[in-house]
Structure 1
C-alpha cells in the first residue's frame, strides 16, 4: 500500500460535502431550559411572587406590579448571566485546538481534527485519541482502549487490513477511542455524527449538575428566606395580639408589614452574583493560559495544599538540546539552543566534521532512524517546527547540524519495539540495500545491559564489565549536572524476526541533552511555599538529574526513586509522602499511588500529567491538570484544568486566581447578608418599638436592586490582595467563616441601628415641630432610605479589603464599585426629585438632610477603618 493521502484541494472539496468532523454537543442546554431553571432553582422567586400577590390583595397595586417586574428582571438577568456562563465554558474549551497528523499533498501535516474528511490518511501514535472512524493500513504494536464504546477497559489488539474493501472490528479504529500502545497509519472512513461514537452520542443525555459553590450560596439564600418568613410571622403575630380585636384594616396593615419584612431579607440577586463572578473568573484564568473544564473547580483551586508536577515541559522549557556526546572514548560538544538548526560539533573546543568520525557518524545516523519525531522548517526561519517528542526532535536537530536527514538515508523500517515508561528503550529493525540493521536508544542503565560489544573507530570489540561501569558512571556524572542522558546502540541483523532482536547490541555512545528550567519557575515555587502549598516534582528522570534540577529551582527535601516506591506498602508510603519532595524514575502507576497517599493524609491535591498513562492519576487528584501543548488527548479529557502554555507558573497563577475568586464571592455574599440583616433589623425593631413602618416594600426592593445586588456584583471584581499567596490554603468549608460572619454581623448591626436612629429622630423631630403625621412619616422614610443606601455604599467600600483601611486605599482600586456607587446615587435623585417620588412615596430632601444622612453613613467607614487598624495590630476578627 502507498498511503499518499489527499491533496489539499480534494480535502477542501470533501469538507464542503461532509462538513466538519464534530459531534453534536452531548449535554446541550437549550435557552428555554436555562430560562426555566431560573424559576425552578430560585426559591426566592416563589416568595417574591407570594409577596406580589399579597400586595395586590391589600390594594398596593404599584408595589405588586413592581415586584412582578422585579421577578421578570431577576429571571432575565439570571438567564443572561447563566447563558453567558454556559457559553463561556464552551468557548474556553474550544480555545484548546485538537490537532491530528494527516498526509496532505504527500507529506505529514498537522491539521485541526475538525477538518479531517473521509479519505484522509492519518498518522496516529501512543496516547492519542482517534479523531474519526478509520481503517488501519499499517500498524506497529497497536493496542487500542475502546472502553468509551464498549465499557470494557482492556486494550484491544488491532491489525492492518488485508484489503481496503474488507474491513471489520479487528482492523478498524473508532473515533473517541485511545491508542494505548504502538502507532498506525489509517484511512478515514467516517467523520462526525456518521461515526460509531457519533451514533451513540446522539442517544446520550447527561444529568445537570449544580456547582458545589452554587449550592452553598443557594443554601444561604434559602436560610435567609426562612429567617424572613419566621420573623415576618412573629412580627405579624405580635401586631395582631397588640391590636386586638381583629379588623379588616388591621389585617391589611399586618400584611403590608409582612411583605416589607419578607422583601427586606430576600437576597434575590445572590445566585446571579455567583454565576457572574465565576464566569468572569474563568475568563481571567483563560487569559493567563489556564482553561477550566468546569467552573466548580475554581473553588477547589483555592483549597489546594499540594501540587504534584512533572518536570519536562512544565518546570522546564520543554525544548531539549543535545549538548554533549560521548563516543569513541571521547567527548564532543554540540553548540546551539533548542530547535534552532544552527550549531557546530566541537572536540577539545575545536570545530570538527562529525562525518569523518566513524562512530560519531553512526551514532548520528542511529539517532535519526530510531526516531518517531519530525522536524520541518518554519519558512525562512532557522528554527525547526517539531512534531512529536521534544527529546526525539532534539536528536533530529543534532543530526541535522551534521547534515544527516531522514529523507537522505536509504532505509526502510520493517519492525520496531516502541518506547514506553516500562521498557525505557526503543528499537527499530531497518532494511538498507538488502542489509538489515537494528538501531536502539534508551536509558543507559537499561540499554547497556543489552549490549555485548562496543565500537571504537572501525573496530567492534567485547564490552567488558569495567567498560560498562565506566560508561554508567559517566552517565551518572552527566545526569548529576542536570543532563538527560540516552545511550545509543546498533547491530546488524540476520532476519526480520523480532524475537530477541535487542540482544547482543553494539554500544555506540551517550548523548546528553539539556532542558533548562523556565525563568519564572523559581519565583513560582517560592510563591507556593509562602502560600503554604507543598510542591512535589514527579519525573521519569534519574535521581542525579532530578536532584540537580530541584536544587536549581529551590525544591529541597527528601528524594525517592520508583524502585524504592515499589517496596513500600500504601501505609508506608502515606507516612513518608508528605516529607518527600522529589520522586525520580517513576512510572505512571506510581503517580496514582502518590496521589492516593496524599489524599489519605487529608491533602487537597493538584496533579499534572501529559500522557495517556497519567489519566488515572489526573482523575484521582482533586484537580487534574493537563498540558495544552504536549499533552495527549486522553490526559486533556481527564483533566479539570488545561495549561495552554504547559507552564508550572501558570498553574500557580490559576491557584492564586482561584483563591481570589473565592474571597471575592465570600465578600460579595457577606456584604449582601449584612445589607439584608440591616434592612430586617430596621423593619423588625421599628415595628417592635411601635413606630410606623420605616420602609415600604417598594423602597426595600429599590435598595436591593440598585445598591445591594449591583455593588455586590462589583465586589466580585476586586483585585487580588497582596497577601493572597502569603496565607495557608483554606480547608474545605462553607462560604462564610468566623471572620466574615463577624464582619457582616457588626456592619449589619451598625447600619441597622444608624438607619433606624435616623428614622426615629427625623419622625419625632417633625412631629414635635407640628408637622402632619403623613408628611412626617414620608420624610422620615425618605431619610431612612437615603441613609440606608449611603450606608450600603460605604459598606461596599469597607468590603473591598478586610485589612486595608478605606483611607489608605485608592478610590479606584475597584473602578466598577465607583461606577455602581455613582449609579446608585443618581437613582436616589431620580426617585426623590422626579415624579417617580409618587410611586416610591418619597419627598425631596434639603441640603441639611443630605449632610446628616451622609455623615451618619460615613461613620461606618470611620468605625471599620479603626477596627481594621486594631485587627492588623491584634486580631479581633
Structure 2
C-alpha cells in the first residue's frame, strides 16, 4: 500500500481518486511543487489559504505523515566501538596466539598477549568515542516554533507538528520550518547558504514561473532550515521531515538499506554498514600486511610441527611433555615471533600524538585513521563560499566620472579607505562621498559592533546582506548609517522588487546642506536616493555628478563609458550597483498617496547618476599561498561551488586556482554539463571532465558526490572541505571530510573526519604535511618491527628445521617485541619531518605501506638479524655442548641450563641489535651519523632498552624463574654485542648503495618531468588552436565582414543581467563536452 492509499484509509471522507492525484503529483514532479500553480497546490493538499487546516484534519495528517523532524540514528554504543577494533587482522592473529597459549595452560604468555591487545583497543576506543552524529546535528537545526493558520486563526505551534497543507506565516528572522510553496510574498528574501553554500540572499516570489528555471532552488519555494532575511510571506507546507531537501541530505548520509542490485541487506550487512567505517589507505595496507603475516605464520607453523613430529623433538626444559604438545608450543613461539605485538599500539600512539599536534595547528581530528589519510590526499575538493572566500560580500571598487576607485579592507570590518592613484578620496572627493551617502540612506541595514569574550571586536551587519557592503564601505569614509539617518530623515520608501530593479527612499535635506558637496539646488527640501541595477537606473538619468560635486549633462558617450565600466567590473565577478539621486523642492505625489507603484512612477525620473559600487565575496587571506603549496606537493585543488560559472572562474583566477595562462574553457565547467538530460554522464565521460577541470560551477549536493566518486575511480585520494548542509554527503563520501569550525554548520562538522578550528584553508596544507610526516614515521617503525619479526621467525624456523633447540621461548620473544622493540618503535613515531615530504608526489591510492625498496630493506635486515642470531645461538651452544642438535643436548645432564645460557646470549644480541638498528631506521637512505641525537625520545628508548636487558638477565627470580634466562660470562656479552654491531654496519652499507642509486634516479626524474611538462603545454596549445579555428569558421560561415565584430553575447548578457541589484550580473556559460 502506498503512502497516498494509507492516507485514504485513515480518512474515509476523502475519495481515493483525490489522493491518487496527490500521489501522482508527488511521483511525477519528484516533490517539484514549483511546477504547478498555487491553486493546483492548494487543491492537491485540500486546504483553504484563508482558514488553513482544521485541528482534526491536522491530527489525521500528522498520524499519517509523522512529525516534521528528521529520523534520528542511534549513536554507536561504546562496546560496539571496542569490538570493532578486533576486526583488525593483526589483532585477530594476536588473540589467536593468546587463546592457544591459554588453552595449553601457558597462562603467563597467553594473558600477557591478551593484556597488550586489550590495552591497544581501549586506547583506540577512547579516541573514536568523541565522534559526533551527523543526523543529530541536522535535527538540532529545526526551528522550535512557527506561526500557522489553523481554523482561521494564527497560532504558534512546535515546528515538528507541521503537516503538508498547513498555511505558514513567515517574517524576517524566521527559520523556515519545512519545504513551503509560497502563496503570497512581499519583498521576501531568504538566505539559503546552509543549502546552496552561497551567502547572497535570494529573492522569492509566489507568482514566479520557474518550470524552466535552472536555478538551484525555485523562486516560488522556500526550504527547511533556510533563514528569512527580509520581508514577509505566507505559504503552504508541501514536504515535511525526511521528505524535505534537508531530509534528502540526511537520507544520503544515513545510507541505503538495499544492496547495489536492489536486494535487501541482511542483518550482518546492515550492522557492518552502520558501524564499520570505510577503510583508509593505512587500514587497507595493515589489513593486507596482516593477511601476508597470517599466511606466513600458518604455513611455517604447519611445516615446523610436521618436521618436529617426524624428528621426535623433545624439550630438555620439559622432558615429560608429549612431543605433540612440545611442537604446539614451538608453533606458538613461531606465531608470537611472527606477529609484531607492538605494531597496533605504536600505530595508535603515533596517530594519537599526531592528532594532538594537529590540534595545535587548528585541525581537530574526529577520526583517528584520518590523520594519515589526509597525508595521502592527492586532491582537495573545496567549496568556494566561506572556504576559499570569507563568505562576506565586500565592496572593493567604486566608479564615477570615468574614474575607478579601490576600496581597501575586507569583510565587515569598517577599517579601510577609498583610494585613487595612491591618494585617499574618502574625505575630499564629493562624488565618492555622495555615492556612499546616497547608498546608505537607501538602505535598511545597520552595522553593529560586538566584543567577544576573548576581547576581539566583531562587526556584524543587521539586515540585508546585499546592503552590507554598501554600509561598510560608507563607514570606511566616516559615513555611519545611524548618524546620517537621524540627519536625513526618511519620509518615504519604495522597496526593491524584481520588476522595478531598484529601491528608492526619500529623505529630508537639512537647510543649507550640500549633500556631501554635490551642487544641489538651494530650494532642495528632499532628496530621492536610488540604488539598483545600472541599466534600469541609467535609463532614467539625464545628468551625472562630477568629482568636484558639480553636475553635468549625461551625454550618450557618458552612458557608453558607464556601461563599459559595468561590463569591466562584472567580468571580474563583481556585483555592480548603480547609485543616483533626485533633488526635490517638494514631493512629486500627494502626501496621502499610499500606492507604491504610483510613488515609484513619480520618483524614478529624472535622476542624477552619482556612481557605481562593486562588491565581491573576497578570498580568504593566505589561500593563494596554500593552493601553491599544495601544487608544489603535487596535490590538485578543485573548487566545487553553487555559484555561476563566470563568478567561479574569476575567483579561481584571483586565488591562482586557475593559474596565469590556464584555459578556463578547458579547466572550468558548469555542472549542468555533467547531467545534460537530467541523468549523469557515463562514468568514462564524467571521468574525462573531472580529470581536467579544476572549477565546477552551479553544483548541487548530488553533483559533489558524483565528482568525488569520479575522482576516486581515477585513483585520487580525495579530501573534501565544506561548511554547509549541502557539503555533508560529499564529506561522508570523500576519503577525508574536512569541515569549517567557525562558519561550518553542525551537520557538516558531524559528517566530517576533521574540523578546521580557524576556518583557514592554509591549515589544510599544514595538516597534509603533518599527515605525510606521520605516514613516513609509520613506514619507519613498521619496517623496523617487520624486519625484527621476520628475522626472529626465520631464526627460529631454521634452528628447528636443522634440529637445534628453539633460540627463544615465547615469553622471551614477547618481552623483546613489546618492550625492547616497542620502545624503539614509539621513539621512531616521534621523528620530526624535515619538510622534504612536501616536495614529493602523493603516494598512489593502491600503494601498500610496505612496497618496492622497503621490502628490500625489511628482508635484508631480517636476514641480517636471523644470521646474527643463529651465529650467536650456535656459539652459545658450542660453549656449553659438543653438539648443537636438540636430540643430543636432551641427553646431557645440564641440557636445560646450557640452552638457557644460549638463549640469554641470543636475547642480549637481539636487544642490542634492535637498539643500534633503531638509529639506522630513522632514515631509509641517510647515514646513521647524520643528526644522530636530534630525537630525544630515541635516547630515552636506548636507556630503557639497556635497563631492560640488564634487569631481566641479572635480577634473581626474574631472570631465571620468570623468563628462563641464565647468567652468562662477560666475553659472551662482548661477543653478542659485537655481532650486533657487525650486522648493523652491513645494514648501513645497504643504505649507502641506495643513496648512490637515488642520485641517478633524481637526474632521470628531472628530465622526465621537463618532458611531461612540455608535452602538456603542447596539448593545451593544440586545443587552443582548435578552438580558435572553430571560431574563425563560424565567422566565415556567418558572412561577417572581417572589420565588423559580432556582439559579444556574454558581455551583453552581463550588461543586461546587471539590471538586477540583488542577483549576480553574471550569466552562466555552459561548456560543451
User: Normalized against structure 2, the TM-score is what?
Assistant: 0.61
Is 1:788 matched with 2:937? no
Instruction: After TM superposition, give the deviation of residue 724 of structure 1 in Å.
Output: 0.6
* Mapping 1:203-218, distance limit 5 Å: 207-210=274-277, 211-212=279-280, 213-214=282-283, 216-218=285-287
Determine the structure 2 residue equivalent to 1:302: 375
Determine the structure 2 residue equivalent to 1:628: 741
Alignment partner of 1:403 out of 479, 482, 494:
479
Instruction: After TM superposition, give the deviation of residue 252 of structure 1 in Å.
Output: 3.4
> What SS does structure 2 have at the residue aligned with 1:326?
strand
Do the aligned partners of 1:363 and 1:488 also contact (CA within 8 Å) in 2?
no
User: Per-residue displacement from partner, 1:489-546 (whole Å, max 9, x unpaired)?
Assistant: 4799985589x99999976522256888777556544432332223456786759955
Determine the structure 2 residue equivalent to 1:70: 112
Determine the structure 1 residue equivalent to 2:188: 140
> What SS does structure 1 have at the residue aligned with 2:364?
strand
Instruction: After TM superposition, give the deviation of residue 786 of structure 1 in Å.
Output: 1.5
Determine the structure 2 residue equivalent to 1:828: 949
> What SS does structure 1 have at the residue aligned with 2:850?
coil
Give the 3 Å change call, closer, same or farther, for CA 253–308 of structure 1 in structure 2: closer
User: Per-residue displacement from partner, 1:381-414 (whole Å, max 9, x unpaired)?
Assistant: 9965235899865432221233332576366989
Instruction: After TM superposition, give the deviation of residue 665 of structure 1 in Å.
Output: 2.5
Give the 3 Å change call, closer, same or farther, for CA 251–720 of structure 1 in structure 2: same
Do the aligned partners of 2:544 and 2:553 also contact (CA within 8 Å) in 1?
no
Instruction: After TM superposition, give the deviation of residue 783 of structure 1 in Å.
Output: 0.7
User: Per-residue displacement from partner, 1:358-397 (whole Å, max 9, x unpaired)?
Assistant: 8843544435755767431549999652358998654322
Once residues 208 and 568 of structure 1 are traced to their aligned partners in structure 2, the CA distance between those partners, rounded to angstroms, is 36
Determine the structure 2 residue equivalent to 1:549: 654
> What SS does structure 2 have at the residue aligned with 1:811?
coil
Is 1:243 matched with 2:312? yes
User: Per-residue displacement from partner, 1:647-704 (whole Å, max 9, x unpaired)?
Assistant: 3321111222222222323333332222221111121111111111211111111112
Give the 3 Å change call, closer, same or farther, for CA 348–739 of structure 1 in structure 2: closer
* Mapping 1:474-553, distance limit 5 Å: 474-475=565-566, 484=574, 486-489=576-579, 495=595, 508-512=610-614, 520-521=622-623, 523-536=625-638, 542=647, 546=651, 549-550=654-655
Instruction: After TM superposition, give the deviation of residue 624 of structure 1 in Å.
Output: 4.6
Once residues 467 and 450 of structure 1 are traced to their aligned partners in structure 2, the CA distance between those partners, rounded to angstroms, is 14
Do the aligned partners of 1:672 and 1:708 also contact (CA within 8 Å) in 2?
yes
User: Normalized against structure 1, the TM-score is what?
Assistant: 0.73
Q: CA RMSD in A?
A: 5.8
Once residues 531 and 667 of structure 2 are traced to their aligned partners in structure 1, the CA distance between those partners, rounded to angstroms, is 24
Is 1:676 matched with 2:789? yes
Once residues 271 and 706 of structure 1 are traced to their aligned partners in structure 2, the CA distance between those partners, rounded to angstroms, is 14
Alignment partner of 2:100 out of 48, 51, 71:
51
* Mapping 1:854-865, distance limit 5 Å: 854-865=977-988
Determine the structure 1 residue equivalent to 2:540: 453
Instruction: After TM superposition, give the deviation of residue 260 of structure 1 in Å.
Output: 1.3
Once residues 373 and 824 of structure 1 are traced to their aligned partners in structure 2, the CA distance between those partners, rounded to angstroms, is 68
User: Per-residue displacement from partner, 1:182-222 (whole Å, max 9, x unpaired)?
Assistant: 66899xxxxxxxxx99xx99x99982114433354244335
Once residues 974 and 466 of structure 2 are traced to their aligned partners in structure 1, the CA distance between those partners, rounded to angstroms, is 72
Range with greater deviation from structure 2 (816-825 or 232-241): 816-825
Give the 3 Å change call, closer, same or farther, for CA 43–351 of structure 1 in structure 2: closer
Determine the structure 2 residue equivalent to 1:366: 439
Give the 3 Å change call, closer, same or farther, for CA 642–248 of structure 1 in structure 2: closer
Do the aligned partners of 1:92 and 1:286 also contact (CA within 8 Å) in 2?
no
Alignment partner of 2:361 out of 270, 288, 297:
288
Range with greater deviation from structure 2 (672-681 or 217-226): 217-226
Instruction: After TM superposition, give the deviation of residue 462 of structure 1 in Å.
Output: 10
Give the 3 Å change call, closer, same or farther, for CA 286–854 of structure 1 in structure 2: same
Report which of the two structures shows the higher radius of gyration computed on alpha carbons.
2
Once residues 290 and 172 of structure 2 are traced to their aligned partners in structure 1, the CA distance between those partners, rounded to angstroms, is 54
- Unmatched segments (≥5 aa) in structure 1: 1-22, 57-63, 103-120, 131-135, 148-154, 160-171, 187-195
Count of residue pairs the alignment pairs up: 784
* Mapping 1:772-851, distance limit 5 Å: 772-813=894-935, 815-834=936-955, 835-837=957-959, 838-851=961-974
Alignment partner of 1:693 out of 796, 802, 806:
806
Is 1:272 matched with 2:345? yes
Do the aligned partners of 2:438 and 2:579 also contact (CA within 8 Å) in 1?
no
Give the 3 Å change call, closer, same or farther, for CA 93–141 of structure 1 in structure 2: closer
Give the 3 Å change call, closer, same or farther, for CA 352–263 of structure 1 in structure 2: closer
* Mapping 1:22-61, distance limit 5 Å: 28-37=75-84, 42-56=91-105
Once residues 880 and 531 of structure 2 are traced to their aligned partners in structure 1, the CA distance between those partners, rounded to angstroms, is 98
Determine the structure 2 residue equivalent to 1:665: 778
Give the 3 Å change call, closer, same or farther, for CA 298–756 of structure 1 in structure 2: same
Do the aligned partners of 1:759 and 1:783 also contact (CA within 8 Å) in 2?
yes
Is 1:82 matched with 2:186? no
Once residues 563 and 368 of structure 1 are traced to their aligned partners in structure 2, the CA distance between those partners, rounded to angstroms, is 43
* Mapping 1:637-656, distance limit 5 Å: 639-656=752-769
Is 1:179 matched with 2:226? yes
Once residues 113 and 897 of structure 2 are traced to their aligned partners in structure 1, the CA distance between those partners, rounded to angstroms, is 31
Instruction: After TM superposition, give the deviation of residue 312 of structure 1 in Å.
Output: 6.9
Once residues 414 and 617 of structure 2 are traced to their aligned partners in structure 1, the CA distance between those partners, rounded to angstroms, is 17
> What SS does structure 2 have at the residue aligned with 1:724?
helix
